[in-house]
Amino acid sequence: MMAGSSAVESDAKFDSFYNEVKKIEKQDSVLTSAQQIERLLRPGATYRNLNPFEVLQIEPDLPIGDLKKKYKRMSILVHPDKNPDDRERAQTAFDIINKAYKALEDETTRQKCMDVVEEAKFKVDSAIQEKRKKLKKDGKKDVSVDEDDPEKYKRAIQVQTMKLFADMERKRRELETRDQEERKRKREQEIEEEETKKAQKEWNKNFEESREGRVTSWQNFKAGKTSKKAAKAKKPLGFRPPKLKPEQR
């Protein structure tokens, strides 16, 4: 009986060890250079890569020391020098990892990222409560939901976190677009005002330059009219015989 118990215990330990080894192997297979590059650059990864925790494949509460180790390992894997046959894509993946690490290395930006995760948890928990209320309202005795499974709950938070990061990026781009349009409008207005001032300045310049000619022309014109009047006044009237009245009888 003791031997049988020991054998069962030994099998359990072996199974546990074997499962742990398989888990590590699975993690290591994901952390190959080619697979990491593909993961970061696959179609649809643009918005996933907005989440630095997703990029570095870490839990939000991972200590900063472990974060640095994970970053170093991943950056080496995708470094262009380590992937000479795929250097361009490797450089892009390397830049993505660097950006994610910088966001989490800095205390201020890391807290902002953590705030996003907390908001995601709040939304998921609220959604779970609403599901339970609906089940109760419908008269269901079993009010369990999919998110009761820890893995599904974790996945729901990850998806919600990704949505929130994507929403933040969308708003940032909209704001940037509005700012660009406003700057463009102001610049066009400035150019228009500059052109108006330039045209006015040119007109004033031409007006001043032609002033003397206009004055001279006017003076000559007036002098000409005066000369004609004087000549007309001096012209002799000549002899005009008186008109004869008819004789009355």
Residue ranges of domains in the chain: 19-105, 108-191
Report angle CA 116, 122, 124 to the nearest 5 degrees.
105
Determine the CATH number of domain 19-105.
1.10.287.110
| CA distance linking residue 37 with residue 77, whole number of Å | 9
pLDDT of residue 29: 47
Each residue's pLDDT tens digit, 47-81: 899 999 999 999 999 999 999 999 999 999 999 99
pLDDT of residue 205: 79
| CA distance linking residue 49 with residue 40, whole number of Å | 7
- Separation in Å, CA 72 to CA 45, 60, 68, 98, 165: 21, 17, 6, 10, 24
94 and 78 Cβ atoms separated by less than 8 Å? yes
| CA distance linking residue 74 with residue 28, whole number of Å | 11
Model confidence at 145: pLDDT above 70: yes
118 and 110 Cβ atoms separated by less than 8 Å? no
Each residue's pLDDT tens digit, 206-244: 777 777 666 677 677 777 666 655 556 555 555 566 666
Mean pLDDT on 154-171: 92
